[in-house]
Structure 1
């Protein structure tokens, strides 16, 4: 299942490793490949591990290769968060406390907006804690993403959502961890992309290419757009596996790439620290997940980009490592557990 390109790439990477980095344990990597080949791990498309910026393992499966553009679904949200950091660094956005509705005067001129919603900030969207009644995990929610997708104007749909109510069994913001009531809402991320387009004067894909992709050497990607032509900051972006690793390395290095500070270090630090708490107990930063995993037999928080199907970019400062898993196990309950297992059972033990 593994391509000759993957094998030759692995050998070249091992030969180029600095003397401080030991080669990964081949037995663990062979066990990983066996688990994929036997369909114990299902619909995995690629696994990549790099240490100190060097690829030490790279495997492609189920028809993928090094040039495949992987649909990472909601891992796109984490890229949008990086773009918010770039816009703040450039002075295009005044900061995470910029008010969202201020960027859409044409909408507010025609629609009455609840004063509480008028206070919505970029940080509220980054942390999935806006007061819009929007919850992708609740099929009855007014803002559920499936309802947005079948409308003609996604932006008007979201800006017009009602204020969230709090049933007796729900935590209000004041009683929630970090003072934020978390609800996973793709519309939040979509509006972030719309704010970026207004603030920068560029389509989202063009802005991403200018401030993030070209500086990182990423030459191929794909961004979706809404029916009204707004860049989709909430999902469906496509990247090659090595380019996903570049995004992870940028975060690992505090927004710095090849001697150049692409994103503000302080913003990156805030992005991967707990800002809210998800319903499953995970931490949530600025569109990045603080996953609670068992590593080396001990509970540990691992920061990651995460998307439907089991698509991940894991950032591991203590190992100086970035790990990428792409998968097409969309909407399957096994997707996320098996991708996390690849990290904790195969990749990290291979480094010891």
Structure 2
């Protein structure tokens, strides 16, 4: 039996320095405080979190767990990858037959129609090269201009939230949560149903997950779909809302990705789509389709080069390692100590 005790001890010794209850010290919780006012506030619900937790699976079997692995906690931008999975479900159902198709061609009237935005394809949105401009539920794309994220090697061109000149869609990579929320809105219109319902039906229930799961939107993020009000959900918890899910369920989703979209012999997401999610973006080779890649070892030098990751603020990581047939989930780990955790796990893999 592989011994992960050193990795677990490292994680437990380095909890993220956020308060566990957002109401207790709101000035030091979350990522919205870095935004220029008046956008530096929560727009949707949040809730207290647990401590450091995690799960490790090898060859489809859980071999280690710590903390509260069944506690449903906010998972921040790990939810971005769930949007990519939903796009894959749409592809399988014939709703999104070609990721190179322009979104405006299929979904006019939802924010992709002007001269700049109508060139944007689904692939641009999935790889974060869309350069979409506008406001999504009252938040302008400029709020996340020049955003600095830890695994982006490119230095910001200006201050966070300082508007910059836009590039042609597909020619510039930027991590931008407003654009992700616009992708989520497009997927909502594509399915014509609430995305949390589709995700539970197509992904969670088939893999035996979903206990305590919820995916919530901003208080004012409602649109009319087929004559009824439906809440659009964000691809993270930057301004509140987002996905609450357990570490064990995150590991089950990671296992689905590791297995190429198959579960119990049934294809839940097309294998070709899962394969494309882990292919490098031409202008940002550290990024796939809403996933982080380790092709050159720059992200985590100790991890295999085939490793890929879902990453969320607050120290939320789901690591898929095909080289060791492993899925590793760790939550609420101080990102400053994430490389140490990965190194301990990699050493245990041998």
What is the distance in 2 between the residues matched to 1:36 and 1:263? 32
Q: Residue in 2 aligned with 1:131? A: 131
- Matching of residue 24 in structure 1 with residue 2 in structure 2: yes
**Alpha-carbon offset, residue 103 of structure 1:** 5.1
Q: Residue in 2 aligned with 1:18? A: none
**Alpha-carbon offset, residue 203 of structure 1:** 0.4
Report the secondary structure of 1:97's partner residue.
Answer: coil
- On the 8 A contact 1:127/1:276 being kept in 2, the answer is no
The one-character-per-residue Cα deviations of 1:202-261 (angstroms, maximum 9, x if unpaired) are: 101111111111111113211021323233241131111111011111111111111011
- Matching of residue 204 in structure 1 with residue 195 in structure 2: yes
The one-character-per-residue Cα deviations of 1:125-166 (angstroms, maximum 9, x if unpaired) are: 1011112358xxxxx962429xxxxxxxxxxxxxxxxx9725
Cα 1:173–1:191, aligned 2, differ >3 Å: closer, same or farther?
closer
- On the 8 A contact 2:293/2:308 being kept in 1, the answer is yes
The one-character-per-residue Cα deviations of 1:64-111 (angstroms, maximum 9, x if unpaired) are: x23211211011000110110011011122221232234554456xxx
- On the 8 A contact 2:261/2:271 being kept in 1, the answer is yes
What is the distance in 1 between the residues matched to 2:141 and 2:8? 41
1:164-243 superposed matches below 5 A:
165=165, 180-220=171-211, 221-226=213-218, 227-229=220-222, 230-235=231-236, 236-243=242-249
Q: Residue in 1 aligned with 2:103? A: 100
Report the secondary structure of 1:81's partner residue.
Answer: helix
What is the distance in 1 between the residues matched to 2:142 and 2:122? 21
Q: Residue in 2 aligned with 1:252? A: 258
- Matching of residue 265 in structure 1 with residue 266 in structure 2: no
Q: Residue in 1 aligned with 2:63? A: 56
Alignment size in residue pairs: 277
- On the 8 A contact 2:309/2:318 being kept in 1, the answer is yes
- On the 8 A contact 2:144/2:175 being kept in 1, the answer is no
- On the 8 A contact 1:311/1:339 being kept in 2, the answer is no
**Alpha-carbon offset, residue 276 of structure 1:** 4.5
What is the distance in 2 between the residues matched to 1:259 and 1:57? 25
**Alpha-carbon offset, residue 34 of structure 1:** 3.7
- Matching of residue 319 in structure 1 with residue 317 in structure 2: no
What is the distance in 1 between the residues matched to 2:235 and 2:280? 20
Q: Residue in 1 aligned with 2:337? A: 338
Report the secondary structure of 1:130's partner residue.
Answer: coil
Long gaps (5+) in structure 2: 18-50, 135-139, 146-162, 223-230, 237-241
- On the 8 A contact 1:96/1:123 being kept in 2, the answer is yes
Task: Please give the TM-score of this superposition, normalised by the length of structure 2.
Answer: 0.71
What is the distance in 2 between the residues matched to 1:259 and 1:267? 17
Q: Residue in 2 aligned with 1:79? A: 82
Report the secondary structure of 2:250's partner residue.
Answer: helix
What is the distance in 2 between the residues matched to 1:232 and 1:143? 18
The one-character-per-residue Cα deviations of 1:174-216 (angstroms, maximum 9, x if unpaired) are: 9xxxx63101111222122212211111101111111111111
CA root-mean-square deviation? 2.8
Report the secondary structure of 2:345's partner residue.
Answer: helix
Task: Please give the TM-score of this superposition, normalised by the length of structure 1.
Answer: 0.71
Report the secondary structure of 2:251's partner residue.
Answer: helix
Structure having the higher Rg: 1
